[in-house]
Amino acid sequence: MTQMKFIILTVILIALVIISGCTKAAPPTDNSELSKTKITILKTSGCGCCGIYSQYAQKQGLDVTIKIDDNLDSIKDGYKIPLDMRSCHTTQIENYFVEGHVPIEAIEKMMVEQPDIAGIALPGMPSGAPGMPGSKSGTWTVYAINHDGSTFEFIKI
């Protein structure tokens, strides 16, 4: 990435953070199946959308801890997250991981059903996903990732 593109992206992310801070926050939705569940969001030091995702998780009633790790690939490798399923941050929740900007509905489904999987992922950084700017268009497919790294469709949102 050229230096100019990096500067432009940084300015845009800062503007989004400032704008989101100027809006009235909704109270936590403690009616969530996950209310007060502890999660740890692992992110790199330069990622702004991960902070916005953590605010989304807190609004859902989750107890969020953020850890900075500039070598997330080793964590993703440890979970055997396929390259095409990776995103900018990885969340640890009980004995599962959540990769990327996964909506709360998918996380609730995983935690209620307790499937024998390693975790779930919403590949890429789709527009309108929690923590991402823009509007949702179309259907998102959240994938389950088995302990061996194989995947299958978990839920469509």
Predicted pLDDT at 157: 93
List domains and CATH numbers for the chain.
37-156 (3.40.30)
Instruction: Express each pLDDT in 30-44 by its tens digit.
Output: 545 677 889 999 988
Predicted pLDDT at 51: 79
Instruction: Express each pLDDT in 22-32 by its tens digit.
Output: 444 444 445 45
How deeply is 69 buried, as exposed, middle or buried, from its count of CB atoms within 10 A (0-12, 13-18, 19+)?
middle
Beta-sheet strands, E only, within 2-150? 38-43, 63-68, 90-93, 96-99, 119-121, 141-145
Predicted pLDDT at 103: 95
